[in-house]
Amino acid sequence: MKRAQETPGTERTAAAGHALSLKLRTALVVGASIGAATMLYPAFAQDAEPIRIGASLPLTGNFSVSGEKHEQGYQLCVDLINEAGGVLGRKVELIISDNRSDTETAINQYERLINVENADIVFGTFSSKLTFPVSSVVERYGMIHPVPAGGALRIWEQGLKHAFYFQQNAAELVGTGLRGVLRDLVDEADRPQTAALVHADDFFANGIAAGFLGGKVEEPGKGVIADLAPGYLAELGIKVVMEERWPEEGFSDWLNLANSIKQANPDLVIGLTASAEEAVQLSRALQTLKVNPDVLYLSQGTQAEFLEGMGEASEGVIMHTSWHPEVPFKGELSGKAFSNQDFIAAFEEAYNYTPDEDSAIPFALCQGVEQAIRGTESTDNLKLSEWLHQRTIEDPIRTVLGPFSWDERGLPKDRTFLMAQWQDGELRFVYPTNEFEGVAELQFPKPQW
């Protein structure tokens, strides 16, 4: 996506720089005034103020690939809402700031979005690292905080009243997916007996590791907030023969890490990376040294960037995912049915490539908030929060990620991640096996490099 030039860390309307092809989009301009926007969207009342939605995203820095895709997901949803006539007779204006993948910048930008830009609503940022400090800022102002990416339990055990997570589950519980694959799809006699677990020293990766290893989640000043013993690997009778973490930023010693894994000779390798780029680096190092476990599971790798980086060597790699193009979720947008397949078609028309979960998740979040605005006929954040908390499994929000209702912490009820595997250059979902049509057979063991 070509983006308009801007000074890093400054606010802008998120329509800037997009090569949009849907009706009316060619008329969007960077920093369009309210008056100009009224001319562009004549269906809106002349005196109606826009609904201003702000978000701080990592458009540069370590998380920039995912940050850009989150921007696209938000932008597409807002464009489609405006194209359908807006919400409550008002257009939606999206204001995006680049936090440069920096915590302090993200905090300052949400303060600015709320107090200076007068955002009616804010959307969440990418990564637990940024979401954790931002969550207390948004909560302090009594605003809803829909979160697209921030699953660490430390976030959700703070007692937040207005935060809602738009993925399937907390980071510490992600391992249930791999546990299900090994328990239900692999004969007991053939299951891995040993495992190497390596991961980034990152909020999300540390959380997933704690679930696999049966660790304790601690919050400074609060002590232990979750005891995950015995852990998913111990439940399966798998012995951990190696555990290592690498620094959150600047790590490049992938060959030495892969050599340590090779010396441990595990049947299962779990690589919990902070980005798709790290997933490629780790996988390439394993390939170079011919480390051939029966199962290679990564926490990142559903993105096209992983396939581009690995090519045929992606074959058989497993990862969890919130979204898959073949899953027939039925969502809603602007009061009408809007399915996963509708999302794919709209995204491809707007951006000329196929979306992945990094765009589908923020799109689903925007769907949910739009349903809340229509449901309450208001942008009052306390009313929106109450309405979202009132969703149930029987009466959920409906999105391209499936249905959502939340517990008192803001974590989704009764949702599990999909498990996917690269097969013949396609990302196929392999688990669960009893919810949807189109489930592929698990490729086990993984082909050798």
pLDDT of residue 220: 74
- Mean pLDDT for the chain overall: 90
Residue 75 confidence class, pLDDT cut points 50, 70, 90:
very high
Alpha carbons 433 and 436: distance in angstroms, whole number: 7
Nearest-10 crossing angle of helices 381-389, 357-376:
110
Decide if pLDDT at 45 tops 80.
Answer: no
Alpha carbons 54 and 383: distance in angstroms, whole number: 19
Q: Which of the 8 DSSP states describes residue 172?
A: G
Q: Say how far residue 364 (Cα) sits from the centre of its chain.
A: 10
Alpha carbons 446 and 442: distance in angstroms, whole number: 10
pLDDT of residue 47: 54
Q: Average pLDDT, stretch 226-235? A: 95
Question: 294: Cβ–Cβ under 8 A, 6 or more apart, which residues?
Answer: 190, 192, 267, 268, 444, 445, 446
pLDDT of residue 48: 83
Short-list 14, 81, 94, CA closest to 43 = 81
Place of tokens 């999206």: 94
CATH topology of domain 11-168+325-404: Rossmann fold (3.40.50)
Distance set, CA 28 to CA 39, 41, 80 (Å): 11, 10, 13
Residue 315 confidence class, pLDDT cut points 50, 70, 90:
very high
Alpha carbons 430 and 316: distance in angstroms, whole number: 11
Element (H, E) at 388: helix 381-389
Q: Average pLDDT, stretch 400-408? A: 97
- Strand pairing category for 92-98 and 11-13: antiparallel
Q: Which residues pair with 230 in a beta bridge?
A: none
Residue 34 confidence class, pLDDT cut points 50, 70, 90:
very low
Tens digit of pLDDT for each residue in 326-346? Answer: 888 999 999 999 999 999 999
Decide if pLDDT at 433 tops 90.
Answer: no
Q: Which residues of 256-278 are buried (b: 16+ CB within 10 A; e: fewer)?
A: ebbbebbebebbbbbbbbbbbbb
Return the structure tokens found at 365.
């979040």
pLDDT of residue 191: 97
Short-list 148, 241, 151, CA closest to 195 = 241
Return the structure tokens found at 55.
């978000």
pLDDT of residue 27: 35
- Looking at domain 172-321+417-431, what is its CATH homologous superfamily? Response regulator (3.40.50.2300)
pLDDT of residue 203: 85
Place of tokens 């959380």: 207
Structural contact between residues 211 and 231, judged by C-beta atoms closer than 8 angstroms: yes
Element (H, E) at 12: strand 11-13
Return the structure tokens found at 399.
């999105």
Alpha carbons 88 and 79: distance in angstroms, whole number: 15
Q: Where in the chain is CATH 3.40.50.2300?
A: 11-168+325-404, 172-321+417-431
Alpha carbons 119 and 135: distance in angstroms, whole number: 16
Tens digit of pLDDT for each residue in 236-294? Answer: 999 999 999 999 888 999 999 999 999 999 999 999 998 889 999 999 999 999 999 99
pLDDT of residue 44: 54
Distance set, CA 181 to CA 167, 266, 301, 353, 448 (Å): 20, 18, 17, 30, 20
pTM of the predicted model as reported, rounded to 2 decimal places: 0.86
Decide if pLDDT at 19 tops 60.
Answer: no
Decide if pLDDT at 170 tops 60.
Answer: yes
pLDDT of residue 336: 97
Decide if pLDDT at 37 tops 70.
Answer: no
Alpha carbons 266 and 287: distance in angstroms, whole number: 15
Residue 25 confidence class, pLDDT cut points 50, 70, 90:
very low
Decide if pLDDT at 1 tops 80.
Answer: no
Tens digit of pLDDT for each residue in 80-138? Answer: 999 999 999 999 999 999 999 999 999 999 999 999 999 999 999 999 999 999 999 99
Return the structure tokens found at 199.
């991961």
Structural contact between residues 171 and 204, judged by C-beta atoms closer than 8 angstroms: yes
pLDDT higher for 369 or 30?
369
pLDDT higher for 98 or 223?
98
Decide if pLDDT at 35 tops 50.
Answer: no
Q: Average pLDDT, stretch 160-181? A: 96
Q: Average pLDDT, stretch 346-357? A: 96
Tens digit of pLDDT for each residue in 136-158? Answer: 999 999 999 999 999 999 999 99
